[in-house]
Chains A and B, each alone.
Chain A
């Protein structure tokens, strides 16, 4: 049996000499022109905008907000919504591995070499990108408790109730941490056959041997585990699955390539949204702010 790669080379279309052009001058010309345009554009940009240079580095003066370079701000944004180990390391590692694995999963040679090669590619791309962008923005708004602020302002502003405040019964829906702090975990223990289960949700003994150094493995703080790990991870796994099921229902998905198109486009949407929010909408204390209200303080 020949390997797939070898088979692929074999099934490659014959060279069609009459459909070929010469690299010199056809391609070399295009390369030259595009390089020229970029050189000029960058030259003009550099003549107009200076690279930033702030005060000399000072370990004792922390700028607030402190930000990583812009291309890592999507990760810094994730950091606000989950356990740092997930945001800073595990999620990006898995994302890169999955990205690299695409061709080993979608191996069908159909539809290569043309833009958006399947029948529903356009719709899948637009839907994946738009829906992911919207949902990510909504999740960020929710975790920033903006819905609380907006609801309060609207109800007060309309004069319905001038000192309306978000009801305590809905504290669990203030933001992600609401699932930790807004639920009366202490009264959620229950008794089976005279045996009290979960009387302390914040220190569930796991007793995994050899884990004495890592307190959360020894005594699981379930409410914090729920809000910082279970919910974020379930969201990151569950939403893509829902996306695929939804588009299957619409009859847009027929091949693995279709699934790849949908998820990749959604990924680009999330990547862009988190980068933009992290760059332009995070002010002091990493609070959500419109870009024009952001000032950097040195503390």
Chain B
């Protein structure tokens, strides 16, 4: 038995591949290699903390772009992006009327990529509102609110309101003329409610007009209160999509 066949020499590519993907550290993170059998692909989705929001298989019609246009997913993606850019913005911003405006100016002028960071946060917030509205329209026009998905539609309406509130509370923070007067106009509308109008306006502003108390209230709601609430509702929303049997499809 001397004629054992020699294993073929490893090519350079294979060496690199093994070096990256077959070392101890990598394999401690990703226990298996690329999932290239159906069984492993399902396991990859079911066992990954980020992917397990999904089912492991879905109906063929639902991966067609034209069924959802990815609008719900993109709304969520905007929320994630806003969280990342928002946390970075918090490094540079102090919610006091002495500092807020100056902080934004300095962010734009002195921080590397500061202007870009602020722009990203701003345009993503606008994009999120538009995407959520479009998502609602797609759900409506595909009749996807019908039983058993009634309640998830209601959760969706709450998500829409929370999205608007998140954007509205963020609008005040730069403390410029645009911010100040937009919030003044907006809260005046709240004040015209036939019952508890003045009371809700006072509660929202922490006073009779937009001032330091309003700034700290809006800031707190914007960076922690509303994000927490919307995360809870999103969790319910996604969970219900799966509990209701995946996306709606003809009987």
Contacts and interface: CB of A to CB of B under 8 A. Distances in A.
Specify whether A and B are partners.
yes
Interface of A: 4-5, 8-9, 11-13, 16-17, 19-28, 30-31, 34-35, 38-39, 42-43, 45-47, 49-59, 61-63, 66-69, 71-72, 75-76, 79, 84-85, 87-90, 96, 99-100, 102-104, 106-117, 121, 125, 257, 260-261, 264, 268, 298
12 contacts: A8-B147, A8-B148, A19-B60, A20-B58, A34-B70, A54-B177, A57-B175, A85-B192, A88-B189, A102-B145, A114-B250, A117-B142
Interface stretch (B6-14, B121-129, B221-229, B231-239): B121-129
A117 B143 contact: yes
Contacts of A38: 74, 77-78, 127
A179 to B, nearest CB: 22
B185 A76 contact: yes
A242 B249 CA distance: 33
B146 A52 contact: no
B164 A71 contact: yes
Q: In the A-B complex, list the 8 residue pairs whose CB atoms are closest, starting with the nearest.
A: A88-B189, A46-B119, A57-B180, A103-B150, A84-B192, A113-B249, A51-B122, A113-B248
B177 A23 contact: no
A107 B141 CA distance: 15
Interface of B: prevailing SS? helix
B21 to A, nearest CB: 17
A83 B65 CA distance: 44
B118 A34 contact: no
Given A21-B58, A57-B177, A89-B189, A72 B249 contact: no
B168 A72 contact: yes
A25 B41 contact: yes
A112 B54 contact: no
B184 A66 contact: yes
A109 B209 contact: no
B87 interface: no
A89 B193 contact: yes
B216 to A, nearest CB: 15
Interface in B55-91: 55-61, 63, 65-66, 70, 73-74, 77-78, 81
B154 interface: yes
B251 A11 contact: yes
Nearest to A102: B145
Interface in B17-40: 35, 38
A13 B249 contact: yes
Given A21-B57, A67-B182, A42 B145 contact: no
A59 to B, nearest CB: 7
A16 B41 contact: no
Given A9-B244, A31-B73, 18 more contacts: A21-B58, A28-B54, A34-B74, A47-B116, A53-B104, A56-B101, A57-B177, A63-B181, A68-B189, A85-B192, A89-B193, A96-B157, A102-B145, A106-B146, A112-B144, A112-B248, A112-B251, A268-B137
Contacts of B210: 57, 59
A24 to B, nearest CB: 4
Contacts of B35: 24
Interface residues of B, number: 88
Contacts of B143: 111-114, 117, 257
A88 B192 contact: yes
Given A85-B197, A268-B137, A68 B185 contact: yes
A45 B197 contact: no
B37 to A, nearest CB: 10
A4 B150 CA distance: 11
Of B63, B77, B154, chain A has the most CB atoms within 10 Å of the CB of: B63
A228 to B, nearest CB: 12
A107 B146 CA distance: 6
A69 to B, nearest CB: 5
Contacts of A59: 180, 209-210
Contacts of B81: 39, 42
A166 to B, nearest CB: 32
A79 B191 CA distance: 13
Contacts of B119: 45-47, 49-51
Given A27-B63, A43-B120, A84-B192, A58 B177 contact: yes
B233 to A, nearest CB: 13
Contacts of A42: 81, 120, 123-124, 127
B147 A71 contact: no
B116 A35 contact: no
B224 to A, nearest CB: 21
B230 to A, nearest CB: 16
A128 B105 CA distance: 46
Given A112-B251, A117-B143, A9 B148 contact: yes
A107 B41 contact: no
